[in-house]
Amino acid sequence: MQAYANMTKEQLLEEEAKLRQVYQEYQGKGLQLDMSRGKPSPEQLDLAMELLNALDTETVMKAENGLDVRNYGGLDGIPEAKRLMADMMDVKPEQVIVCGNSSLNTMYDMVARGMLKGFLGETPWCKLDKVKFLCPVPGYDRHFAVTEHFGVEMINVPMTEDGPDMDMVEELVSKDDAIKGMWCVPKYSNPQGVVYSDETVRRLAAMKPAAKDFRIFWDNAYAVHHLYGEENGKLLNILEECEKAGNPDMVFEFASTSKVSFAGGGISGIAASEANLADIKKSLTIQTIGSDKINQLRHVKFFKDGKGVAAHMERHASLLRPRFELVLETLDRELSGLGAGKWISPKGGYFITFEAMEGCATRIVALAKEAGVVMTPAGAPFPYGKDPKDSVIRIAPSYPSLEELKEAANVFVTCVKLATVEKLLEK
């Protein structure tokens, strides 16, 4: 195909007319499609229905340490649930606190603790004039919403195909003691699907931050969410690397079963150093009587262990793979060679990132919406919702049916083409 940038004005006008006709046909269809939500599909949720039968009136409701899971106690989780979460995060069970149904809430709590109490005896962040976080972009909008909520200044760090730009990260972190944290989705990153390279993990672990209480918020949200087997998702153990580098307390790792069992009906966990765990428990014991141990036991009975989780995730992958492939095939077929955008083929996670021609993302999302296809708002993967180039669009293929997705992807590529041609004609 001829690249749009090489077309004459006449050719572009002709192309625009054609595209507008196709677009109007879509508009006439009254579509109601949604590629905005990183949600499991109903079919994926059906995979875990047996979880509901994992406990019944005949179950001995004791954890392996003898604790009655129906009663108070067990602040940091039952031993077998620690093991399950540790398997998922590839850490040791004794490094885990099992938390509630939302790892977002667990992360929010950790930032709130930094604000209100400080970490390991350092000054609470709310007492400081300025607190900053590094935000690899594009990234996860809900991370940025948490730090924005607390008045934290967010600094964009560009992502590369190996993770965040480490030269920039090292430079910033070593010089500015107001930088207290950094958001990371290290495996199948949201939204690009990047897996941090070994070198990136090692450089992160070996940083010499100006702030003693600098923390990496390591959201391992897609720890076991492979599309093509775990070989494509190898990630170094950040806790181990931090320890080796003499920074054992520099990281909090998070994970949950929200996209494993049920979204919002699962369990989550935090992994950290011994000193951090003790520090967390000091405030956790004030905050709560502990998370739901019955749901912990239910998950252990259903999944058994890391292998059980892996087997279950293969069933998820078999539902997700065709959806990802359909979208990627549509992008390839319709956009290759046009110079209308780039995209990455992720090997896991929940998203495909489309990088449109600069200044086109908002227009593409608006066009899609007017044709009945909801996309994640342009800018969402950036702090303050501001994409400096207005080019990144997050595509979420998990929730729609294949049939819906086919139509939605076709609408999307039409909108991409139309917005690109419009843009070129402006010049």
| Contacting positions for a copy of itself (CB under 8 A) | 37, 39-40, 42, 45, 48-50, 52-53, 55-57, 59, 61, 68-74, 100-102, 104-105, 108, 112, 115-117, 124, 126-127, 142, 145-146, 149-150, 258, 262-265, 283, 286-295
- Nearest approach in angstroms of CB 125 to a copy of itself is 10
**Cβ atoms of residues 193 and 284 within 8 Å:** no
Nearer to a copy of itself, 22 or 145 (CB): 145
How near is the Cβ of 144 to a copy of itself at its closest, in Å?
10
Indicate the residue among 297 and 335 with the shorter CB distance to a copy of itself. Answer: 297
Q: How far is the CB of 246 from a copy of itself (least distance, A)?
A: 31
DSSP state of 376: P
409 Ramachandran zone, left/alpha/beta (phi>0; psi -120 to 50): alpha
As a whole number of angstroms, the distance between CA 405 and CA 33 comes to 8
> Which is nearer to a copy of itself, 116 or 402 (by Cβ)?
116
Cis peptide before 209 (omega within 30 of 0): no
Q: Tell me the sheet residues that pair with 219.
A: 254
Q: How far is the CB of 296 from a copy of itself (least distance, A)?
A: 10
- The DSSP bridge pattern shows strands 153-160 and 373-374 to be unpaired
Give the residue with the Cβ less far from a copy of itself, 220 or 268: 268
Cβ closest to a copy of itself, residue 148 vs residue 165: 148
Classified as helix, coil or strand, 45 is helix
Instruction: Find the shortest distance in angstroms from Cβ 199 to a copy of itself.
Output: 33
**CB 210 to a copy of itself: min, Å:** 24
List the 179-184 sheet strands across, edge first. 96-99, 268-271, 251-256, 215-219, 179-184, 132-137, 153-160, 163-164
Residue 237 or 291: which CB sits closer to a copy of itself? 291
Closer residue to a copy of itself in complex, CB, 115/326: 115
Q: How far is the CB of 206 from a copy of itself (least distance, A)?
A: 32
Q: 174: which 2 tokens?
A: 């070593």
- 216 in Cβ contact with 184 (< 8 Å): yes
Identify which of residues 64 and 167 has a Cβ nearer to a copy of itself in the complex. Answer: 64
Contact 267, 88 (CB under 8 A): no
- Closest to a copy of itself by CB, 11 or 71: 71
Nearest to 398 by CA among 42, 40, 46, 140: 40
Strand pairing report for 251-256 and 373-374: unpaired
Contact 19, 338 (CB under 8 A): no
Q: How far is the CB of 220 from a copy of itself (least distance, A)?
A: 17
Q: How far is the CB of 65 from a copy of itself (least distance, A)?
A: 15
Provide the token pair at 101: 């149904």
Least distance (Å) between residue 54 CB and a copy of itself:
9
Number of neighbouring beta carbons within 10 Å of residue 150 = 17
The DSSP bridge partners found for residue 394 are 353
Q: Which is nearer to a copy of itself, 201 or 221 (CB)?
A: 221
Kindly tell me the number of DSSP H helices and DSSP E strands found in the chain: 13, 13
Longest dimension (CA), the chain: 78
Neighbours of 243 (CB within 10 A): 16
User: What's the CA gap between 195 and 51, in Å, rounded?
Assistant: 30
